[in-house]
Structures are given as C-alpha cells and as structure tokens.
Copies of this chain bind each other. A is one copy, B any other.
Amino acid sequence: MRVGVPVGHAAEQVDLWLDAELRGVPSHGLLRLERLAERIGKGLADPKAIGLHEWRGAGFLAVDGRKGLGPIVANAALEQVTARARETGIAVAAIANSQHIGMLAWYAERVARGGQVAIVLSTSEALVHPWGGRKALLGTNPISIGIPTGEPDPFVMDTATSIVSMGEIHDRAHRREPIPSDWALDENGSPTTDAEAAKRGAIGPFGQAKGYALGLAFELLVASLAGAALGPDVHGTLDAEYLCNKGDIFIVADRVQTAGLSTYLQLIRNAEPAEGFASVLVPGERGRALRAERLKSGVPIADPVWARLLALASDDVPKRQGAST
C-alpha cells in the first residue's frame, strides 16, 4: 500500500503469497514482494490496473493486463470466463502484459471449488535447457489442473516443467550444498553438481525429452493464444528492468461429472506403497495438509525475507513514477 497499491489489490496479492508460504512454496511467497514494489516504483507495474478485456468470440477472452498485478488481472479475467463457461461449457482467458501470477494452484483451486475444471498455464524467463541442449531457451512453464471430485477439497496439481525450481538451486547455493547431477548445467552447458555454477547455467526439463516436449508445447501455446514473448525474449518476472511480457492461459470447462472420482482417489490413497515410501500421495494433498498445520502453528519466514519486509514497511520506500493513478 505504501507504493500505491489499493487495499483490495494488496489483500489479494498478499493472499496469493501467503498461500504459497502456507503450502511450503516460499519461492512463490513473500520474497517476491520486494521486487514487485521495486517494479511499481519504476512504473513497470501498475498496482491499480485490472486489465482491458476483449471477447474474441463467445468463449475467448483476450486480456491486455496493462502492467497490472498478476493476481488482480488474472482474477478479474477468471470472474468473466468462469461465468461464461457456465453458459458455453468452456472458455479461455489469454493474458498478456501483467506481472507474475505466482503459484498457479491458487487459481486452479479457486475455480475447482466453484465446481468447474481449470487448466492454468504460464510462461517465464528462459531458465530451462532443451533436452540435448546446453543453454536455457525455455521458461519453467508450469501447469496446474484443478478438478472438482465430490470430496470437500478438489484435486489440484501444480508443477513446473523444469526438474526443479531455480529457487531450489539458489537455496542449495545459499546453504553451500551440492545438487544432484541431473538437475542443471553450468554456463558452458556441462552437467554440474555445484549450485553456484548452476545459477549461471540452465535447469534441466523434468522427465528428459518428454518434459522438454511439454515445456516447449506450453511455451508455444501460451505465446500463440496470449501473444506473449518466447524463450530468451521473456522478461519481467524476476528483474526490475523490463516490462513483463510472459503470458498466462486459463481454460475453464463446465458440466463436470464427479461420479467415481472420489472412489478412485481413495483407491490411490490406500494403495500399498513401494519400498522406501510411507504412502501413496495424491498430488497437492501434502501442501494442503501443511497449509492446515501452518494455519495453526504459523509460517516460518526466512530471516533475510523478514528483514526486507520490515524495511519495506518503514518509510524508506521508493516512490512510484509514471504509473497511472
């Protein structure tokens, strides 16, 4: 709010970050606040914008995010396409020119709780190398899918198409721990177990050629529908120098049958675990359990992040420039 974010927008943006913290995904949590405040200060992000909506056909909402905050622009679009999908059966929002939208599961879960199916895609700066390549040419290009199941909580999976997040590699570097040899390449494109070297290099796609194929398909799909930039041309979710030109896609489908889904999920939860595993997990449920626990016990925030939050809460905050009021 000190950098000009309206209270409702601030609450929504912080809810997204806190949800990531609660679910144990601090890379998408409060550490993002400082950079966003900096971007707002420089006029690269507009804290008041909700995006310009253009319906290209009854089911296709094209959104120019007008430099707005990721969750503000996305939720305004989702409100439209969830309502529209109740009429048409399916609708898509294709968003360009908004800030980082954070943890995709936050959106997919919201849609699924409303009784609809969601497929959410987003692109990012090039951090991932093609399978068989040496340099980062793809975003981490996550996907989240939310599905109502007839159970109190929907099914929500959320995964990047990289083998790990760059945040995880930074964390290992910070702790001076090595990384597994299949995680990343160094700046020369050779496999490395040195997290510092990996930070200057490229992360591997998950699942080798198959994960690469998916990550590339998502990169092209988001660019095709949202008019987003591609590969090394993508900027603005990690820096405070460029306009944010990645894209986000929300496909919402209605008319869901939930018959049998809960029974099937129970079959999976009750399946005999393999050696070395305590149980068979349904994706998303570990994060949800952690969330419930942390809502009671609190969220551990890393000291440097907490120190930055306190500094940002003080008067020493960059002034906004050039953004509309």
| Stretch in contact with the other chain, from A30-38, A67-75, A173-181, A248-256 | A248-256
CB-CB < 8 A to A244: which residues of B?
none
A-B contact pairs, 11 of them (CB 8 A): A90-B90, A92-B253, A117-B225, A131-B281, A133-B268, A134-B274, A135-B271, A163-B207, A190-B274, A207-B211, A224-B257
- C-alpha gap A255/B58 in the complex (Å): 12
| Stretch in contact with the other chain, from A16-24, A226-234, A307-315, A317-325 | A226-234
CB-CB < 8 A to A219: which residues of B?
264
| Residues in A149-193 with C-beta less than 8 Å from chain B | 149, 155, 157, 159, 163, 185, 189-190
User: Once the chains bind, are A90 and B217 in contact (CB under 8 Å)?
Assistant: no
The 5 A-B residue pairs whose C-beta atoms are closest, nearest first, are A60-B89, A207-B207, A57-B89, A132-B277, A213-B283
Interface string of A43-79 (1 = CB under 8 A from B): 0000000000001111110100000000000000000
- C-alpha gap A135/B274 in the complex (Å): 9
Given A92-B89, A211-B210, A264-B231, also A283-B216 (CB < 8 A)? yes
| Stretch in contact with the other chain, from A140-148, A235-243, A297-305 | A140-148
In the complex formed, the residue of B with least CB distance to A148 is: B224
- C-alpha gap A320/B147 in the complex (Å): 40
Q: In the assembly, how many copies of this chain are there?
A: 2
A275 within 8 A of B: yes
CB-CB < 8 A to A147: which residues of B?
217, 220-221, 224
**Cβ-neighbour of A212 out of B87, B132, B137, B283 (below 8 A):** B283
A130 within 8 A of B: yes
User: Once the chains bind, are B56 and A59 in contact (CB under 8 Å)?
Assistant: no
User: Once the chains bind, are A283 and B89 in contact (CB under 8 Å)?
Assistant: no
User: Once the chains bind, are A253 and B225 in contact (CB under 8 Å)?
Assistant: yes
A273 within 8 A of B: yes
A40 within 8 A of B: no
| Residues in A96-153 with C-beta less than 8 Å from chain B | 117, 119, 129-135, 137, 143, 145, 147-149
Looking at A87, A145, A258, the one whose CB has the most chain B CB atoms below 10 A away is: A145
Q: A167 to nearest B CB, angstroms?
A: 16
CB-CB < 8 A to A213: which residues of B?
157, 159, 283
User: Once the chains bind, are B229 and A133 in contact (CB under 8 Å)?
Assistant: no
- C-alpha gap A259/B247 in the complex (Å): 14
In the complex formed, the residue of B with least CB distance to A147 is: B220
A261 within 8 A of B: yes
A214 within 8 A of B: yes
Q: A248 to nearest B CB, angstroms?
A: 14
Q: A224 to nearest B CB, angstroms?
A: 5
Given A207-B210, A214-B159, A229-B260, also A89-B267 (CB < 8 A)? no
User: Once the chains bind, are B211 and A271 in contact (CB under 8 Å)?
Assistant: no
User: Once the chains bind, are B282 and A216 in contact (CB under 8 Å)?
Assistant: yes
- C-alpha gap A225/B253 in the complex (Å): 8
CB-CB < 8 A to A271: which residues of B?
130, 133-135, 137
